[in-house]
């Protein structure tokens, strides 16, 4: 069982669209909130990754919408790892509303690149400790 | 070969992030631009769909990032159909920059729901003419 | 002295632009966060206002940028009332970073309109109790 | 009479909120569209300004909302200069819909700063030709 980080999240009016629900692309920003909380709980910081000279751009993203979040909801985003192969890191996300209904699930895949050149570098080599921590969190040891 | 609609698209400063490129979630908004252009070229209008009492929410979305768009780029989004089974409609997207490099590809799947209840209704039944047109555009007849 | 509501706020990567700071229009969304916190602390709810058949659209907005917020900052938004004349309500905002520097100040003016017609209605008449509470919070009684 | 640059603008679904209209902060992004068109028509480029080592951050912004833009509208943003004193540049904006109704007006004030230090530099000194052109466009010579 992977280590799961939960974070509360209140949709803003700004996040909604004229369908009366959260606009579909804005859930991808909510994924960022979950990922940031996960990294923080793991004891790391994306700010420090950039200060060390690297970015972790998104390689791909998937989201499926089962039930909309609406303004007034108090949502929770759960984030965990499903891949950490030394090159790619995959974060999984599940957004639930205040009654526990699953609203959106998805994932993002990330790689590490050098800030100056955007050249890919293995995560394992650039951040060996962080990589080992993620290996443990994959299995929640 | 499917019918392909191309539309020019200039990233705004607002679309960028501190990585110096377009923020990954904002490409999903660019997909909306492509989809709107496709619907318009097909002779239909999303505004009229809503006026008829329906929404076409996104069922799922996928995007893969091959090369970033940057501020100053003059991009083109190409949109075509890869599924139109009467229930689900899948739009495919390809974003290229001014030198023809493929930057982002992806798809969105849409269903039709009633505005008042969010209850799903087959696209084929709610909009039979539109459905037939899409069948033709799948094969570009 | 007016009643002031403070709320913590962590800028997201999504909020930044290629200048390496929060994009100027996104502070206007932060104002919404402050306003929502203020309404909540005052014992009211914007959701209930809409359920009662009204909107509170923005009549005008002003913001001045003294120092940028950057990714990694832990900001605080302070919100208070500077006008509550029965027709218009003016919320004032001050955004500070974790070292107390004032980053952005501004205000938004709101009126009340009927949801179905967008016709203006005096706040004082539509929500007399809320109006009285705001009068008290203007002077922090 | 100042030189006025007009640009067409189609609101996206992404720009709307659950009020059924364009979300108030998103008009500030539309101002960016108008400003970019103005700079382009004046014969300059913000990309080149940044390549020369400068940013032109927003010093302050004001917007007043007279009538909402809705999805389906075909809007026009008109942009002109109201101040160019060598330090500050003020762009004025007017957004109209397809029937000519004025929807939103406002302005943004910009200064020039060095990219590496965010230290202010007079526009007149950093970009003397651009400054002179703007002086002419203030009076439409």
In a domain, C57, yes or no: yes
B44 touching chain D per CB within 8 A: no
The answer to the question of residue C141 being in a domain is no
Q: Tell me if C49 is assigned to some domain.
A: yes
Instruction: Label residue A139 by pLDDT band (50, 70, 90).
Output: confident
D68-125: pLDDT as tens digits:
999 999 999 999 999 999 999 999 999 999 999 999 999 999 999 999 999 999 999 9
Q: What is the structure's pLDDT at A20?
A: 95
For C70-90, how does the pLDDT look when each residue is reduced to its tens digit (9 = 90+)? Answer: 999 999 999 999 999 999 999
pLDDT exceeds 70 at position D141: no
Kindly identify which residue of chain C lies nearest to residue A71, measuring between CA atoms: C47
* Best A13, A18, A27, A69 residue to mutate vs chain D (most D CBs within 10 Å): A18
Tell me, what's the pLDDT at C34? 98
User: How many Å from the N-terminal Cα to the C-terminal Cα in chain B?
Assistant: 9
- The predicted structure's pLDDT at residue C139: 85
* pLDDT for B141: 58
Does this model's pTM top 0.90? My answer is yes
DSSP SS3 for D3: coil
Record: contact C17-B21, CB cut-off 8 A: no
* Cα separation, A112 vs A57, whole angstroms: 7
Of C109, C111, C116, which Cα lies nearest the Cα of C127?
A: C111
Residue D139 confidence class, pLDDT cut points 50, 70, 90? confident
C17 is catalytic: yes
In a domain, B141, yes or no: no
pLDDT reported for residue A141: 58
Structural domain for B81, as ranges? 5-136
Cβ contacts of residue D100 below 8 Å, gap of 6+?
none
Average pLDDT over residues A79-108: 98
Yes or no: say if D73 and D97 are a contact pair by the CB < 8 Å rule. yes
Q: How many domains does chain B have?
A: 1
Query: What CATH number does the domain containing A113 carry?
Result: 3.10.129.10
A28–B24 CB contact, under 8 Å: yes
The answer to the question of residue B40 being in a domain is: yes
Residues A44 and A56: beta-carbon distance below 8 Å? no
Q: Is residue B84 part of a domain?
A: yes
Residues of D in contact with C25 (CB under 8 A): 25-26, 28-29, 32, 61
Sheet holding D54-55, edge to edge: D54-55, D112-114, D120-121
Q: Which residues of chain C have pLDDT under 70?
A: 141
Residue A72: closest C-alpha in chain C: C47
In the predicted model, residues of chain B with pLDDT beneath 50 are none
State pLDDT tens for residues D24-83.
999 999 999 999 999 999 999 999 999 999 999 999 999 999 999 999 999 999 999 999
* pLDDT, tens digit, 9 for 90 and up, residues D2-20: 999 999 999 999 999 999 9
Query: Is the predicted pLDDT of residue D140 greater than 90, yes or no?
Result: no
ipTM, two decimals, is: 0.96
Separation of alpha carbons D20 and B120, rounded Å: 22
Q: Catalytic: which of A17, A60, A85, A101?
A: A17
């Amino acid at each position: 069982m992977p280590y799961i980080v939960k974070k509360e999240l209140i949709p803003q009016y700004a996040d909604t669209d004229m369908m009366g629900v959260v606009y579909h692309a804005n859930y991808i920003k909510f994924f960022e909130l979950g990922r940031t909380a996960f990294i923080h709980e793991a004891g790391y910081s994306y700010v420090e990754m950039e200060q060390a000279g690297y970015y972790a751009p998104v390689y791909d993203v998937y989201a499926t919408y089962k039930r909309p979040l609406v303004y007034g909801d108090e949502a929770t985003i759960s984030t965990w790892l499903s891949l950490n192969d030394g090159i790619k890191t995959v974060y999984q996300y599940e957004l639930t509303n205040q009654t526990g209904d699953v609203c959106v699930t998805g994932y993002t895949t990330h790689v590490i690149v050098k800030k100056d050149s955007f050249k890919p570098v293995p995560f394992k080599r650039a951040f060996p400790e962080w990589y080992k921590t993620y290996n443990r969190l994959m299995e929640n040891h």
